Chains A and B, each alone.
Chain A
């Protein structure tokens, strides 16, 4: 598959807000939040298809996205540098500031 990465390391991305009726692996607490791509983890078969007997194709690119903890939780107690890193598939991400 010659499909190229939509995002690169360092890109800002915003997680889509959605609650599909099928299986998905984007936690609710991170939906709508803006983070930065810190790693491109590779292509994997889509769990939203695999979860329902599908073949998981086409494969989806998986990104590791870092979010500032204090941008995720209003009352985060720790220092402002603390982060939460979540693995998110490309089709759940939108570009920011483009």
Chain B
């Protein structure tokens, strides 16, 4: 390990003492760079990309898919190239994205029981609860109970499919377009799409007065 990353040298009185995990991350990054596995530039580019993405990016993608059935078909079949069409190019270094569509018959919900795999390249960083042991265990054992806590009560006739992203794919849920939104513009539709409904723990929420009667 390089001397410059030795956490022992940080002075507590400076108020800048790094946590154990921050120091560990720095040490690992320094080692990876030292061994030529990646460059600091690559690390910075990935960090900048993740930090620049947020659920509003995912919401735009969902709203576009709702408005354009042909785009939706391409998004489900080949997310990476469909996203490129609308200006979201995912770097080759990011894990493959899979988009799963909620329908009247099937509702998807995403979890990573092993760690915190999440479509960061599109949605940015996951919420803290997504990474919690409570969510990671309850999402697989009692998904309907979790959804109830997010305000979604699904009928028994709807099949719940929980996706455990254990490996090389990251999942984005394409929620159902709410009824009564036929006259909304794409920008208005995007406002209905929350981060949580792209994880699948709930459905898009339509505020009073927005949907056509």
Contact = CB atoms under 8 A, between A and B. Distances in A.
A83 B159 contact: yes
* Interface residue tally on A, bucketed by range: 20 to 34
Given A42-B96, A78-B160, A84 B140 contact: yes
* Interface residue tally on B, bucketed by range: 20 to 34
A78 B96 contact: no
Nearest to A85: B163
Contacts, number: 73
A44 B167 contact: yes
A51 to B, nearest CB: 12
B35 to A, nearest CB: 9
Interface string B153-165: 0001101111111
B175 to A, nearest CB: 18
A85 B162 contact: yes
Nearest to A44: B168
Contact of A87 (B157, B160, B162, B166): B166
B164 A82 contact: no
B144 A78 contact: yes
The B contact surface, by secondary structure, is mixed
Given A29-B140, A84-B140, A77 B164 contact: no
A81 B114 contact: no
A25 B166 contact: yes
Contacts of A81: 159
Contact of B144 (A27, A62, A77, A85): A77
B166 A84 contact: no
A62 B167 contact: yes
B166 A88 contact: yes
B53 to A, nearest CB: 23
Given A29-B113, A77-B145, A82-B159, A62 B164 contact: no
Contact of A25 (B140, B144, B161, B167): B167
Interface string B58-99: 000000000000000000000000000000000000001010
13 contacts: A25-B114, A25-B167, A26-B166, A29-B113, A41-B98, A41-B169, A72-B140, A78-B156, A82-B162, A84-B161, A84-B162, A86-B164, A88-B166
4 closest pairs, A vs B, by CB? A87-B167, A44-B168, A81-B159, A82-B160
Interface of A: 25-27, 29-30, 41-42, 44, 47, 62, 64, 66, 69, 72-73, 76-79, 81-89
